[in-house]
Amino acid sequence: MLVAGILNLTFALEWVGLALLALFIWRKVWPPLSKAMTARANTIRESLETGERARAEGERRAAEARARLEAARDEADAILEQARRSAAQIEQDGRRLAEEEAARIVARAEVEVELERARVAEQIAGEVSAVVLRATDEVVRRELDAAAHRRLVEQAIHAAEDEAVG
């Protein structure tokens, strides 16, 4: 019985030691450990919330960037379309101005040709008149027989034709 009593006493002392250890842990170790775990949980929660806010902010900024990019593309398309319309208008205006200038040049050339034609006709008429007057003068100076007269008129006609051709 003594052994059984010692065993019971040892067993009881182990339970008392275990109870004291549990009490020590519950009073001295658990509060700082609980505080540290709570602080760590709060830190993790705050980190997760900060990460979630950062992710949401990143998504918002990405959406804004996509919207700005789309607006920039639309603006670039509008600018290109305006440039195409301007180029077509400039080309059309250039053609119109070139056609008007060509018409003015042709009209001016036609006027100059007509003036030159009139000047040449006057010159020819003057030269023919001079030839006719010389021929008439020759005819008057010479004897007016029919053969000489005919020959002088034919010479005047040939001379006028040669001057008109040449």
What does the pLDDT look like over 45-97, one tens digit per residue? 999 999 999 999 999 999 999 999 999 999 999 999 998 999 889 999 889 98
Structure tokens that stand for 94 in this block: 């250039």
How far, in Å, are 70, 92, 95, 96, 134 from residue 84 at the CA level?
21, 12, 16, 18, 73
Residue 32 pLDDT > 60, yes or no? yes
Is 80 exceeded by the pLDDT of residue 34?
yes
pTM: 0.42
